[in-house]
Amino acid sequence: MHGEFKVPGGKLVVVDFDVVDGRIADFRLAGDFFLEPDDALASINAAVNGLPADTEAPALAKAVRDALPEGALLLGFAPESVATTIRRALQKATAFTDYEWQVIQGPAVDPVLQMALDQVLSEEVGEGRRKPTLRIWEWEKPAVVIGSFQSVKNEVDLDNAKKYGFDIVRRISGGGAMFMEAGSVITYSIYAPSELVQGMSFADSYAFLDEWVIVALKSLGIEATYVPLNDITSPTGKIGGAAQKRLGSGAVLHHVTMSYDMDGDKMVEVLRIGREKMSDKGTKSANKRVDPLRSQTGLPRAEIIEKMVGTFKGLYGLTPSEITPEEYAKAEQLVTEKFGTEEWLYRVP
């Protein structure tokens, strides 16, 4: 068995071992992390050897932690990182570089069609008809995108949404409401086989799937970090949030919306929850624009997207792709049958 796990914001952890009679044997930990004292490595190896191969991650992490000598120093990884890597090896997890990635940029489509495309493209990847894909969204009209389990009336001021021309749509992933206007946000989705996140907790997989964008933001001079469970932030405030859905078709959908230059006043009129959480959106005053990406980089939105796509390509490779007529047809059918219906939108009134 061989497993690798790049700790978000940390180092690479690598494990190699055999499974003999249902137990871990000949376990070897390696990586570019830092560990003191030197003989702590042998202690970790000895602690894992002999454990049942079906040991869950918390118990694996405890075995590693208990084996560490007093005062041991771990930099760039933790006992939980070793446990995650072991579980990924046992479940035959894959890495970003195992795939031929494609990228779709645009076009702008109706918000409800965006929701349907997320499901369709995820299913196409899960069923092997599409290669793993990064999609950069564009918006043709304003929208509030609420999470799968949110209440419409609790999240949205319907009168103000109508006043400003905002559509209200519901996505298939959980999480909070997203305030969308053309040119004000950067939204992307990752459609990947579920093997990419095998052996990871949801918390680990969020940061793992977004590490490339942290690298991109740092290259633009933003001190970006990931705050569990699903926030991308910097010292000046929150930049964006992620949501995720693992589909039965064998795919994981992971999508993120980051603020480029949003109208804070309008946001708190349209989003009810925004009136209480403005400080969490990057500003303490509703009389300011929520513009972390614009103010921290001074760059046009298109240049930031170009840097993001270039970073992903440099790390994992990318080839251009487009949404096919068949995928559009499936999405349109889902709009009719699901995403465009009152039953779906008001599944939580």
pLDDT over 50 (residue 220): yes
* Domains, the chain: 2-90 (3.30.390.50), 96-345 (3.30.930.10)
Coil, strand or helix: which one is 320? strand
pLDDT over 80 (residue 342): yes
Mean pLDDT for 203-218 is: 95
pLDDT score recorded for residue 286 = 44
pLDDT score recorded for residue 281 = 46
Dist. CA 2–CA 196, nearest whole Å? 14
CA-CA distances (angstroms) from residue 318 to 122, 143, 197, 309?
17, 29, 20, 8
pLDDT score recorded for residue 45 = 98
CA-CA distances (angstroms) from residue 27 to 65, 97, 300?
16, 24, 50
pLDDT score recorded for residue 289 = 52
pLDDT over 80 (residue 97): yes
Percent of the chain at pLDDT exceeding 90:
89
pLDDT over 80 (residue 240): yes
- Residue 37: cis peptide before it, omega within 30 degrees of 0: yes
Mean pLDDT for 179-207 is: 94
Residue 262's DSSP bridge partners are: 290
Give every CB contact of residue 176 below 8 A, 6+ residues apart in sequence: 147, 150, 241, 273
pLDDT score recorded for residue 152 = 97
Dist. CA 341–CA 336, nearest whole Å? 7
Task: Give the residue among 185, 196, 201, 170 at the shortest CA–CA distance from 335.
Answer: 170
Confidence of residue 276 (pLDDT cuts 50, 70, 90): low
Percent of the chain at pLDDT exceeding 70:
95
Mean pLDDT for 83-108 is: 96
Tell me the pLDDT tens digit for each residue of 287-336.
Answer: 345 678 999 999 999 999 999 999 999 999 999 999 999 999 999 999 99
Mean of the per-residue pLDDT values for the chain? 94
pLDDT over 60 (residue 114): yes
Q: Are 125 and 191 in contact (CB under 8 A)?
A: yes
